Chain A
Amino acid sequence: MKIDNSLPLEYSTGQNQANILGFWIFIGAEIMLFGTLFAAYFTLVDRTGNGPTGADIFEIAPLLIETFVLLTSSFTIGLAIHAMRLGKQKAMMAFLGITLLLGLVFLSVEIFEFNHFYHVGAGLQTSAFTAILLTTLGTHGGHVTFGLLWGTAIILQIRKRGLTPETANKSFIFSLYWHFLDVVWIFIFSFIYLKGLM
């Protein structure tokens, strides 16, 4: 395996570069995935049947916490990658840890929110609107959950092996993933929640 030291660690081998490009393409597919979910959401948003509308069930407080927490985590993972570029393994792991912690907070609030939806009569089976709402949020939440597991695995690997081209590559790709989830959340925030609350 040829290592090119003129490049950042995460780009230093041919395989690493392929991994990063491959992941960008994967994000392209993810954009289509969420794009389709949004298309379905906009089609079904008014089809509430006998169930509640968005304005009936959305709550400001959990929404603001989720948004704040997730945006902050996107910032901290940026710091983690910055630390990685400087070769500061401890700082990097600390920021990565904070990111995952914030992700966990996000997820807890989202679970709380789902519970709230359920209790105000917006279950998965209530109407086409509630189904697509919960599916879209759930798909994003599922991605966050997967991210938590993945991030934990990366922290464990860095602890064991240090910052190698491999672990650096994984961390960088993970940061792309996490930023992407943040972007999706911004869309969810604006077009599902804000539009629904208005």
Chain B
Amino acid sequence: MRKNLVSRNNLISYKNFGRKNLIGYIFSSPFIIFTLAMWLYPFLWGIVISFKKWNLISPKQSWVGLENYLGVIKDPMLWVMVRNSIYFMVVFITITTITSLGLALLIKQIPKKYAGLYIAGFLLSYVSSGVAYSMVFNLLFAGDGLVNNLLRIFGIKVGWFTNPKIAMASIAMIVCWKFTGYYGLFFLAGLNNINPTLYEAAVIDGANSWQRFIKITVPLLNATFIMIIVFATIISFNLFTEPYMITGGGPMNATRTMMLEIYHRVFGLLQAGYGSTLAIVSAVITFIFVWAFRKLIERDDIYE
């Protein structure tokens, strides 16, 4: 009798559980369907194509095994693109971290009722069209653009996008302009989470503002740093709009990125198989970098 009761109770709870689950699935179904259709299907299809030779528009798709993978790994352009991405990453992460943290520290000093206005202003660059601002920067940094015309007063002339040594740094600066406000918001949230009593205690102990910044602010922003570095690393390997619009990957392949090459291979040269392979290799490289960064700087032994 008791056994029967237990099993009946279990049945009822299973039924409830099943019904609850069903309702949950119904509510989340738009997202699940969207993810399956727009992410999982293309992802799996991309993997399949990477083992094929297909020109994107022909019904003929032949299996080529690992030929595309060997082609990508043997292609010297892969290493040129990895080098370019690392160059971009170093400049982008360095400058953006400094500017966005600086911005967050400045906004923290502003009375709260005005802070929102400043944040909104800085976020405008993040929501503006990549194509539009790329065109504007291209004109600003042209040989006879505003920046070079100002520099000419001091006898300086810079080929911002035409000198192979600095073209990628120039692109990185534009992307910094875009992301400074957005990342600044993350830092601001991180700063707001730091317990003010820590600073009060440090002041009592005689710590100056630099010491407080290095010993309290920076370590306690570790999670924000990690998040921004992970985002920035992904951006570095996914860079497309700015080099596409401004340099086309030149000069001397100095701004050629993985995404640019994937687009060029697939839609310019109709090498869909090779392009898919490159996309997968690019994802693996991005993952390795993100993993390495996390291993290097992620810390669990912060004070609080």
Answer whether A and B are interacting partners: no
Which of A's residues lie within 8 Å of B, judged by CB? none
